[in-house]
Amino acid sequence: MGIDVGGTNTKCVAIDNNTHEIIGKSSVFTTHDDQAGVATGVVECFQRCMQNNNISPEEVVFVAHSTTQATNALLEGDVANVGILGTAKGWLSSILTKSQLHLDDIDLGTGRQIHIVDEFINSKNLTTETIKKALSDMGAKGVQVVVASAAFGVDGGDAEGQIVGIADKEGYPSTAASEITKMYGLARRTRTAAINASILPKMLDTAEKTESSVRATGVNVPLMIMRGDGGVMDFEEMKKRPVLTMLSGPAASVMGALMYLRASNGMYFEVGGTTTNIGVIKNGRPAIDYSVVGGHETFVSSLDVRVLAVAGGSMVRVNKSGVVDVGPRSAHIAGLDYAVFTDPDEIVNPQIELCQPKEGDPSDYVKIRLDSGKYITITNSCAANVLGYVKEGDYSFGSPEAARKAMEPVAQYCGLSVEDLAEQILAKSYEKIKICIETLAEKYKLPHEQISLVGCGGGAASLLRYTAKEMDVKYMIPENAEVISSIGVALAMIRDVVERVVPTPTADDIRSIREEATAQAISSGAAPETIDVHIDINTQESKLTAIATGSTAVQSQDLLAAASDDELKQIAADDMRIDASEVTLETGTDFIKVFTAQKNGDTSVRIVDKKGFIKVQRDSAKIETTTIAKYKDSVQQLYDDLAVYMSDAVLRPYFYVCLGGKVMDFDGSSMDYEQLLVLMDVEFGDSDPEQKIIIVAAKSVI
């Protein structure tokens, strides 16, 4: 069961674990103002879904939910006062550390702040008595939660643990900075920990109420919660690091989109009533970046999401010349119904009025007065229904007749036909969307022909088809798009990330960080046999990263039937936008096939698994089939052959290695040759030296 807590609605889906069939849905309004907060809506939605679909507590094997709680707490300033208790060894280190830990109050960018109080104890004086004294002094200044931060705390030592242990006994919820991140950068690490600590009381309260309420239903499986980077973790881990749940709403929709995206590269396009979230999926993984809170960089990894204030319910601004703008005000916030969802018989003698929906808004938003005295408005959904972009069966399908009748007086006011007005509305929205998509494509080096849009959210059809047509890109709107976030929560994997500053990582460094990431994933609830670890070496930032993903002990069956080679070739051809006769099956294994085609003098490659999912989409590529024992010769040749020489740098190729059914990727441009070989050696582990592998190398995109 997956529960997504949105700004307006909390939605739950029940999914059969053996077939992945959706067997139940439920939706309630999100209970922001309830005494127990959003937890009430989570439980109400959960219970209703069980009751309406005759699901017994014993049948539930997995429960997870996303939450807006952390994000909303920061936006609304519903945060605790934070005390930072720092420590360091030696007089010079103490001077430098003390200055770095003297943080200003953290501006949340909304006029609200996290109030910071700091104290410092030299490690030679760090005792139970001095810690209690510092806590007492900070408590007198209004401190409610504590951060323990030691210079070089990520390198070990028990100073932070000592402070946290005593703070907990003294009744202060606490955070050790090194538990939040293992990255160097004392001030930034401490600031991240302070943000985490500031929402601890709120999140702990919600977590305990949610957990106890779910337990009261008789469901006793671990309760999981969505992270902002697209994974889930259990409640015990969330209670330590609630800051990781920031942006878990968009993350849920992305993980839902990944269930349907058959390509390794693409974009998710989630359209709600007020906002549209757009982000990139590259090499089968969502694009991740560090979060920024109130302009402050943190060490919290979350989805790199662009949030646009234009969506299915965005209202329209006009003057005598036509459409001035669309959004950011939405019909829902303005308290107006969409024309397209109004009974056509209600729309009698419609009259245009220009208004200011909320104080501070422009005064040229459109609303329509009906003969009954009721007011409605026109939106992107209305325009898309009129022009036929929304089809019967789409969640946002309404009455094109009603939309047309309501838009008629607006069209007359602007000197346009209804169709021209609808076109202008969608074109204004598209201007904003196009810039966003192009910016993300450039940032993540996503070629235009590989942009495939996956529409999520109830309003997807209102904007997606028009955008796809104008940009000439592929798109899909999966079944159950309106609850895609809840599906994403229900089917999400455990995910844990470990980062280290390691200038020149050795094989031992890589093995160590792999083991640590694996241990954290197990701690978060993953079954050990399901865990996969991706290692990334970034020489520019001297950063070593391990991303561990895995499933809970409950295993889902393999549902999709294997496709024939001809069917896989057609999938590759469709993705390349060429005829299947131009595609060659180059090589493969029992689990994957590698297809090539010549395009514009370059070799395009598609690696497709037996289920028809495209694992790799690359141009300017070469393929080598070899064995583990001989792989270094092939890598050396490809490393040189596909290098891109620039005036001030040499860009090395990106490598993909197919080993059995696994496709591993290595960014050759971010590490030197020796590091690349070390990483590959670790990935191959104890595999048979004579085992066949397929190496695909592609030029780095400039």
Amino acid code (one letter) for 337:
D
Q: Specify whether the CB–CB gap between 486 and 12 falls below 8 A.
A: yes
Instruction: Identify which of 440-454, 480-494, 540-554, 568-582 has the greatest average pLDDT.
Output: 568-582
* Helix (H/G/I), strand (E/B), else coil: 38: helix
Low-confidence winner among 480-489, 528-537, 658-667 (lowest mean pLDDT): 480-489
Q: Buried b / exposed e across 662-689, counting CB within 10 Å, b at 16+? A: ebbbbbbbbbeeebbbbbbebbbeeeee
Task: Specify the pLDDT at position 260.
Answer: 67
| pLDDT above 60 (res 553) | no
Residues with Cβ within 8 Å of 210's Cβ and at least 6 positions away in sequence, in order, are 39, 42, 43, 65, 223
pLDDT(192) > 80: yes
Query: Which residues, in sequence order, are bridge partners of residue 122?
Result: 88
pLDDT band at 10 (very low <50, low <70, confident <90, very high): confident
**Which pLDDT does position 138 carry in this prediction?**
95
Q: What pLDDT, on the 0 to 100 scale, is given for residue 92?
A: 81
Instruction: With residue 145 as reference, give the H or E element that holds it.
Output: strand 145-150
pLDDT class of 420 with cuts at 50, 70, 90: very high
Supply the pLDDT for residue 558: 47
Q: Is the pLDDT reported for residue 641 higher than 50?
A: yes
Q: Give the model's pLDDT for residue 9.
A: 76
User: What local confidence, expressed as pLDDT, does residue 555 receive?
Assistant: 41
Highest mean pLDDT among 169-183, 273-287, 291-305, 374-388: 374-388
The residues, ordered by sequence, that sit 6+ positions from 690 with a Cβ below 8 Å of its Cβ are 627, 628, 629
Residues 24-76 have pLDDT tens digits of 999 888 776 777 777 788 889 989 999 999 999 989 888 888 876 676 677 66
Mean pLDDT within 123-147: 94
Strands (E), 287-425: 288-293, 296-303, 306-308, 314-319, 322-330, 337-338, 351-355, 365-369, 375-377
Q: What confidence tier does 402 reach under pLDDT thresholds 50, 70, 90? A: very high
> Within its chain, how far is the Cα of 420 from the centroid?
36
* Contact status, residue 205 vs residue 196, Cβ threshold 8 Å: no
What is the percentage of the chain residues whose pLDDT exceeds 70?
Answer: 95
End-to-end alpha carbon distance in the chain: 43
Q: Where are the alpha helices (H) located in 492-616, listed in sequence order? A: 507-523, 565-576
Whether this prediction's pTM lies above 0.75 is answered by: no
User: What is the reported pLDDT for 158?
Assistant: 87
Q: 438 pLDDT exceeds 90?
A: yes
Helix (H, G, I), strand (E, B) or coil at 653: coil
What letters, b where the CB count within 10 A reaches 16 and e where it falls short, cover 258-287? bebbbbbbbbbbbbbbbbbbbbbbbbbbbb
Tally of residues, the chain:
702
pLDDT of residue 228: 79
Q: What is the pLDDT of residues 80-113, one digit of tens each?
A: 999 999 999 888 888 888 888 888 888 877 678 8
* pLDDT exceeds 70 at position 557: no
Q: Which residue matches tokens 């308290």?
A: 335
pLDDT tens digits for range 462-487 = 999 999 999 999 888 877 777 777 77
Q: Tell me how far CA of residue 649 lies from CA of 216, 652, 669, in angstroms.
A: 62, 10, 10
| Alpha-carbon dihedral sign for residues 272, 275, 276, 281 | negative
pLDDT per residue as tens digits for the range 264-285: 788 888 888 877 888 888 877 7
Lowest mean pLDDT among 171-180, 413-422, 558-567: 558-567
Phi-psi region of 480 (alpha: psi -120 to 50; beta: other; left: phi over 0): left
For residue 556, pLDDT beyond 90: no
Provide the pairing of β-strand 145-150 with 82-88. Answer: parallel
What pLDDT score does 649 carry?
Answer: 82
What values do phi and psi take at 15, rounded to 5?
A: -120, 130
Tell me the pLDDT band of 411, cut-offs 50, 70 and 90: very high
DSSP letter at 379 equals B
Average pLDDT over the chain reads 86
- pLDDT, average across residues 7-14: 81
Contact 147, 193 (CB under 8 A): yes
Looking at residue 559, what is its pLDDT? Answer: 47
For residue 438, give both structure tokens: 């192009």
Burial of 564 (0-12, 13-18, 19+ CB in 10 A): exposed
